[in-house]
Amino acid sequence: MKSTFAFPAVSVCLLALAAVAPLTGCGNAGPGGSPPVPLAGQAVPLGPGDRLHITVYGQDLMTNDYMVDRDGSVALPLAGRVQIGGMVTADAEAAIRKKLSRGIVVDPNVTVDVIQYRPIYVIGEVNKPGAYDYTSNIVMINAVALAGGFTYRAGKEAVTVLRGSEASEQRYHATQTTALQPGDVVLVPERFF
């Protein structure tokens, strides 16, 4: 006696969709999806821990290297604190110019250059977890390579990127090509057998 087993057409279609959905990115939509990919040459917002060189032309006392404080500000001599966290360098220049033009410097000319962005962090199931210098165009797999690669227990398919401060933290599922920003935390979980 010959036995045959046939899948109903609907079941075959559902299986095909289940296999293709992760490849098309359907699983990445919404709050747990992939972070926005920065465009080439796109400016990165400044944040706490970034080291800057601020030049105020004609004002040697103010021209110096500064670090963005925990509250997102820099303290300039004579001008006081200027809030620049979350701004790109052009906006930071405008904010500093505005503060200085309030009677401190006549027609100030300001430039802000980033010396070094805050580091990225790779934690969890990697061989050397820790902080690593941010470089432009770094993606998740590069960060893992800097951290000595995955351990044998790593859940490679469940890597998460944490972005932002505790109050505004966002979590994203990361693929190997997920672009990182300064201050990002790459979390590599342990896989469960």
CATH number at residue 93: 3.30.1950.10
Tell me: do 70 and 129 sit in the same domain. Answer: no
Tell me: do 102 and 55 sit in the same domain. Answer: yes
Average pLDDT, rounded, for the chain: 82
Structural domain boundaries enclosing 129: 119-193
In a domain, residue 186? The reply is yes
pLDDT value of residue 151: 96
Strands 51-56 and 64-67 come out as: antiparallel
pLDDT value of residue 34: 54
pTM for this prediction: 0.72
pLDDT value of residue 4: 44
In a domain, residue 65? The reply is yes
What CATH code is carried by the domain that includes residue 126? 3.10.560.10
Q: How confident is the model at residue 33 (pLDDT cuts 50, 70, 90)?
A: low
User: What domain count does the chain have?
Assistant: 2
Return the percentage of the chain with pLDDT > 70, whole number.
77
187 neighbors 162 (Cβ within 8 angstroms): yes
